[in-house]
Structure 1
């Protein structure tokens, strides 16, 4: 049994870690002054808010520092099965960039289900889109059917595409209608907004979250302030290069400074990237001004007090020096005096 400082998702607290049935568990409350103290800090597994599990070897995620992922576009039947069973079937290997965990826990999977697109809209014509992963919606009746289908499947949000550079997009009226129908099922709309004016338009029409920090154009400060008050952005900064990357980082920097909520997301499956915490995405978030606790909030670590939580350990760190990239699983050997 050791005293430990841990991050509960909001701030830093004191608790105790101990071995229970061979697993390291965390409990809160003040510890006995005579207890040895862990040399470092403890967190729950991180969240990637934008992944595509059908486009990667998702079994490798069970050995990563992620505790939860949110899939933003795939076959809803496949995603439902993954969410029900968790992802826990692959032995982690250091060759794959993952860590050896004595008792791997199931990764929590949340999902949006299928992409909801205008007829002929993105990504209906993309070869990478898994079979059954797109629902083309022409009118309000079709929208109601699709939203009901995603809700019945167990979706936690609705992914709506609005990419004017790659095909048709929804009219203002139909987009607003989809948002309203989704709200009646308690499904916030996460929008893929791409093309001039699309990020501004979908937020004005009620999108609760942008699947990508705006990268088509620089938003003016007035628009940044409006969006900071009404929506959140998933970062996905590292998928860009050149001008698009610079625009996205500048937008995120001002959005964060205005009080907007930035969430860590990688668009896992969009090109080669680790099935784990992404160092390039972390570096881009830091470049955009997210440091210390702001970076941890973006990573949305899971509740480390939950019995099923994967506990991460940052050896030698304090709350002021905690670096997510230094995190590794907390293992029984760390409790040896």
Structure 2
């Protein structure tokens, strides 16, 4: 019989939410996503040690700003890892702009240009890369400009309808609405456990898909941050799903069919007037969960980024 992972692939493009090369090779996803937390985990994987040593050995010693040298080393390493991942997936690799730039549009654009240039030096074209930005107003504005330069973006840490709509208005290539972190917030608030059909995270992502269909937008929706295979299967049919190796292994070990739960038809949509900055901020502010989880997500990515920088600084000597 067909595994549930293979059955799921008939409804959604499966993306590996990991930097683990062995896992990517094993489960054959279309794309792969990374972030500072995943890069930090990959930093300890045996398969990356030679790559890390070789990449860091090429970082020139300077008498200038040590922090700038370390940040450059992080970018070089993230791209080197992404280039290795690109050899194993037929699609794209998402590489994240540092969370500390989440509220700085010009700096985010400049960092994206640096990452694309580094990928080019590795022989990986921009058509194989997604620049990952937090779904702040400033991040969305950076993505809008980058999309005009044919640099496609993945807008992450997306928790509110306002964030989703602003991304669609900006012509962003892909958005990553989170499932598990949304549900985590509601479980903490209510003390309840949720079945997949009533799961707040699942319902949120389905709502984002409905918004895409209703407006006839070209933006790709990719469900992210899953806690259970029940959540994953409840979103079968969402254009893309980025899934951790643990859940990929569960799906690959189970047999059976998977029914489509999400259907998109963007052929006859009617678009609304683009949100102004004031409307975006007011709409996002009205969602307590989205406010909490966006702020927390940026802080957590920044903490992992700083930890990664400290580890790299130690190896740089």
Task: Provide the TM-score with structure 1 as the length reference.
Answer: 0.42
Higher strand share: 1
